[in-house]
Amino acid sequence: MNPKSKTTAITGDPSSACSIEATLDVIGDRWSLLVLRSVFRGNHQFSTLQTELGIARNLLSSRLARLVENEVLTKVEYQRRPKRYEYRLTGKGADLSQALIALMNWGDRWYASGKAPTILTHRSCDAALEQVVVCTACGTDVGPTAISSRPGPGRRT
Amino acid sequence: MNPKSKTTAITGDPSSACSIEATLDVIGDRWSLLVLRSVFRGNHQFSTLQTELGIARNLLSSRLARLVENEVLTKVEYQRRPKRYEYRLTGKGADLSQALIALMNWGDRWYASGKAPTILTHRSCDAALEQVVVCTACGTDVGPTAISSRPGPGRRT
């Protein structure tokens, strides 16, 4: 272990940090994120999700209901008789891809000895993807120690 | 509500999804992420963290111990008599900035009516930052529906 002590300012001042909290209120438990990961991967049906995740029915039910209630997933009827439903990402749900990619990349770097189990690729190029934080003015790829913050328009006073 | 149904492939096939799971094993609960958010913001001492988060002492203790055990934080003595410690991000911990930024941005977009409470900026330019996923071949900013995946070197067979 060779820890480097670092301080950054990526989450701003105390009065203005509620966006991370708002996010965690919706998806901030392990099962919700694993359910989402599985839906992103193309599993849309209750039974498929249950099998893949090895999760108890009642837990899966409650997580799915909560994700639907929060409009991250939508429940769509795909068969009439008998009625069958599947779970699809809404636009808001699909917009979580950056967060899932970040969590996956971190796991790759620190728990897979740099050997990614999955490489994300650009569908049309087949080349690998990279997640970066860039400056909208100078275009620099900005690392955590070069990040600062200022109050935005939604700051609570 | 106007959900759009979307499918992407960002997390690969079932045998290769363990990096998200590995990450969630370490930071996949709400309190751990909120503790990290607070440390990123510059709060390093137990009492400061406790006050800011309004978390019970035993919960905070257990989350900090787990984050230290997993080498996300390091416990540093900053005063000898009486002994006092503070918690600092390790390199591995600082590397979580992409994940925290993604979670914050999503909260901004969906829970702050697009009015970010905090704007992340490039320290040297003071301009706003943007998190993007780019193709390493063509440089395109790749959205979730244009993402595909293939097995990487760490795929479990």
Q: Cα A107–B127–A7 angle (5° rounding)?
A: 45
Q: Cβ A118–B13 below 8 Å, yes or no? A: yes
| A9 pLDDT tier (thresholds 50, 70, 90) | low
**What dotted CATH number matches B16-146?**
1.10.10.10
* Residue of A2, A49, A78, A97 best to disrupt the B interface, most CBs of B under 10 A: A97
Write the pLDDT tens digit of every residue in A60-108.
999 999 999 999 999 999 999 999 999 999 999 999 999 999 999 999 9
**Which of B24, B127, B152 is the closest to A137 by Cβ?**
B127
Q: Cβ B17–A37 below 8 Å, yes or no? A: yes
Q: How far is A82 from chain B (nearest CA, A)?
A: 22
Residues of A in contact with B128 (CB under 8 A): 135-137
**Percentage above 90 pLDDT, chain A:** 61
**Which of B4, B17, B19 is the closest to A111 by Cβ?**
B19
Residues of B in contact with A23 (CB under 8 A): 103-104, 106-107, 111
Residues of B in contact with A5 (CB under 8 A): 74, 76, 88-90
Q: How far is A120 from chain B (nearest CA, A)?
A: 4
pTM equals 0.85
Considering only residues A20 and B107, tell me which one the structure prediction assigns the higher pLDDT. Answer: B107
What are A92's strand-pairing partners?
A: none
B130 vs B112: CA distance, rounded Å: 17
A69 vs A90: CA distance, rounded Å: 12
CATH architecture of A17-115: Orthogonal Bundle (1.10)
Structure tokens at B139: 């440089």
pLDDT at residue A37 is higher than 60: yes
- The series of mean pLDDT values per 10 residues for chain B, 157 residues long, is 43 56 84 91 94 94 96 95 94 94 92 86 95 95 89 78
Average pLDDT, chain A: 86
Whole-angstrom CA distances from B128 to A99, A135, B56, B75 are 19, 6, 36, 32
Q: Cβ B134–A132 below 8 Å, yes or no? A: yes
- Helix locations, A15-146, DSSP H: 18-27, 30-40, 46-53, 57-69, 91-94, 97-111
At A155 the pLDDT is 78
**Which of B19, B76, B155 is the closest to A107 by Cβ?**
B19
At B85 the pLDDT is 93
Domain extents for chain A?
Answer: 17-115
pLDDT at residue A15 is higher than 50: no
**Which of B38, B107, B122 is the closest to A137 by Cβ?**
B122
At B9 the pLDDT is 54
pLDDT at residue A123 is higher than 60: yes
Q: How far is A110 from chain B (nearest CA, A)?
A: 7
B135 vs A8: CA distance, rounded Å: 27
Q: Name the residue with tokens 């984050």.
A: B67
Chain B residue nearest residue A36, CA to CA: B11
Q: How far is A7 from chain B (nearest CA, A)?
A: 6
Considering only residues B25 and A59, tell me which one the structure prediction assigns the higher pLDDT. Answer: A59
**Closest alpha carbon to B129 in A137, A26, A106, A102:** A137
Chain A residue nearest residue B99, CA to CA: A102
Q: Cβ A8–B89 below 8 Å, yes or no? A: yes
Structure tokens at B90: 């390790």
Q: How far is B26 from chain A (nearest CA, A)?
A: 10
At B103 the pLDDT is 92
